[in-house]
């Protein structure tokens, strides 16, 4: 089976998590750059990566790379790519997105139109036709220019992979599913430990944790654009990858995962999302303010995305809010806390300096992932990862 170079974009600052996921799936990583990891795989890998990877935004199939400092070089470089090996004569093709960093060519619309013309020129010669109906499967391209090097890739996913298919109802400032999964993977949390999100919003952290605990692949309940690429990926590969995902689900596990929110309507939405994900039986949701946060058990994990004052009028409430979170955390004997926020005074009002602090870009917003480590539990299982 033909091998491809596949690109998995991710949040800036979470490349190591993405790399580990790809290696765990059994593929060879060829390059790690800011915000993306490139790996080698065949048609089966396209299916498995889309269905199983929790932290990538999409899976891109790389078709070419070349240097271009002028639009003429962009045209010629694009025309050299053997498009007929990827796109059938009835395929619908266009440059869906072009981004440029530190490059002489920087106008996305010009890059898009010139590359489309070059693709048409190439395929006219290859197929011996002058007009393309474009009424078949879709083959959208994503193009990155960095220091005048053009990387061209086809998008196999379609809708971003953070759209798992379960979150129909959202809170005001939801964290994406891919980011929530990556942050959970940065912690030593395991399904035999308690997990509480006191600002659960639409339920993303608890739901992603429950799916991980039950070994449910994140892409089980959605479709992917490349399912229509019968010229490149046999339908059998999709069926086999989905069968593998279904066989791995452990639905009868017992976990203690809880989500609280002060807004009862939001809690109802979180329950509905958990039901859509098939994990509502694994999570306890409750309407509860953070001031009432408590738990009788030891060695639990607090992981949350609290408000951080997106609006000016909310900012005045933040010192008191973060002070309350810190006080409730002190009362949770031997717990660990993991907080993602853009609020720069978090440690000051939380009342403790973080053991680790990781800078992560959530879209264009700079956020911090504060990690307050508790003691590890007495080991029933020697060699287990520290908590």
Residue pLDDT, tens place only, 275-310:
999 999 999 999 999 999 999 999 999 999 998 876
What global pTM score does this model have? 0.94
Sign for the pseudo-dihedral over CA of 126, 127, 131, 132: negative
CA 364 to chain centre: 15
Query: Any residues with CB less than 8 A from the CB of 125 and at least 6 apart, and which?
Result: none
Find the angle CA(182)-CA(143)-CA(183) to the nearest 5 degrees: 5
Q: How many CA atoms lie within 13 A of 134 on its CB side?
A: 13
Give me Rg for the CA atoms of the chain.
23
What's the pLDDT at 251? 84
Quick one: what percent of the chain has pLDDT higher than 70? 96
Say how far apart CA 261 and CA 266 lie, in whole Å.
7
Distance CA 345, CA 126 (A): 60
- Signed CA dihedral, 16, 18, 19, 24: sign only: positive
Nearest to 282 by CA among 343, 191, 217: 191
| Four-residue CA torsion sign, 305, 306, 309, 314 | positive
pLDDT (0 to 100) of residue 170:
66
Which residues, 6 or more positions from 52, have their beta carbon under 8 angstroms from its beta carbon?
A: 25, 217, 218, 219, 241, 245
Distance between first and last Cα of the chain: 42
4-155 to CATH, choices 3.40.50.300, 3.90.950.20, 3.30.2130.30, 3.40.50.10740: 3.30.2130.30
Hey, where are the domains in the chain? 4-155, 177-217+231-372
Which pair of structure tokens corresponds to residue 373?
Answer: 């480590």
Please give the pLDDT value at position 172. Answer: 62
| Per-10-residue mean pLDDT, the chain, length 387 | 94 95 98 96 98 98 98 98 97 97 96 98 96 96 98 97 86 82 97 96 96 97 96 97 97 95 94 96 97 94 89 78 96 96 94 95 88 89 50
> What sign results for the dihedral spanned by CA atoms 189, 195, 198, 199?
positive
What does the alpha-carbon distance between residue 41 and residue 30 come to, in Å, rounded to a whole number?
A: 11
Q: How far, in Å, CA of 81 to CA of 84, rounded?
A: 9
Please identify, in words, the CATH class of the domain defined by 177-217+231-372: alpha beta
Residue 9 confidence (pLDDT): 97
Whole-number pLDDT of residue 311: 59
pLDDT of residue 1: 75
Same fold, 4-155 and 177-217+231-372: no
Q: Residue written as tokens 């990566």? A: 49
Q: Write the Ramachandran bin of 43: left for phi over 0, alpha for psi from -120 to 50, otherwise beta.
A: alpha
- Of 153, 145, 143, residue with least CA distance to 69: 145
- pLDDT given for residue 64 in this prediction: 97
Q: How far is CA 127 from the centre of its chain?
A: 38
* pLDDT score recorded for residue 384: 46
Predicted confidence at residue 133, as pLDDT, reads: 95
Report pLDDT for 310. Answer: 66
Contact 266, 172 (CB under 8 A): no
């Amino acid at each position: 089976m033909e091998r491809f170079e596949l690109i998995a974009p991710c949040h800036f600052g979470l490349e190591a998590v993405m790399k580990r996921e790809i290696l765990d799936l059994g593929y060879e990583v060829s390059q790690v750059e800011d915000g993306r990891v490139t790996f080698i795989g065949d048609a089966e890998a396209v299916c498995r990566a889309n269905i199983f990877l929790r932290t990538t935004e999409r899976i891109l199939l790389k078709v070419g790379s070349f240097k271009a400092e002028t639009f003429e070089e962009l045209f010629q470089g694009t025309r050299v790519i053997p498009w007929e090996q990827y796109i059938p004569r009835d395929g619908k093709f266009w440059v869906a997105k072009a981004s440029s960093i530190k490059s002489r060519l920087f106008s996305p619309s010009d890059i898009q139109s010139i590359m489309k013309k070059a693709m048409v020129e190439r395929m006219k010669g290859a197929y011996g036709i002058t007009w393309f109906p474009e009424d078949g499967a879709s083959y959208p391209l994503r193009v990155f220019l960095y220091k005048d090097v053009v990387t061209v890739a086809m998008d196999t996913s379609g809708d971003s992979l953070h759209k798992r298919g379960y979150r129909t109802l959202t809170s005001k400032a939801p964290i994406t599913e891919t980011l929530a999964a990556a942050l959970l993977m940065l912690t030593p949390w395991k399904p035999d430990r308690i997990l509480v999100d006191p600002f659960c919003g639409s339920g993303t952290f608890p739901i992603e944790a429950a799916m991980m605990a039950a070994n449910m692949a994140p892409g089980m309940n959605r479709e992917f654009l490349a399912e229509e690429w019968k010229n490149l990926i046999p339908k059998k590969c999709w069926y086999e990858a989905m069968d593998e995902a279904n066989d791995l689900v452990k639905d009868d596990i017992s976990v203690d995962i809880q989500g609280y929110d002060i807004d009862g309507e939001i809690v109802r939405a979180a329950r509905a999302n958990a039901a859509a994900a098939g994990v509502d039986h694994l999570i306890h949701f409750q309407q509860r303010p953070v001031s009432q946060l408590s738990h009788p058990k030891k060695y639990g994990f607090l992981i949350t995305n609290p408000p951080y004052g997106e609006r000016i009028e909310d900012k005045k409430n933040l010192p008191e809010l973060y002070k309350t979170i810190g006080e409730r955390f002190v009362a949770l004997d031997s717990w660990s806390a993991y907080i993602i926020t853009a609020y720069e005074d978090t440690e000051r009002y939380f009342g403790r300096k973080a053991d680790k602090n990781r800078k992560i870009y959530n879209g264009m917003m700079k956020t911090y992932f504060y990690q307050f480590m508790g003691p590890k539990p007495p080991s029933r299982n020697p060699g287990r990862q520290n908590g």
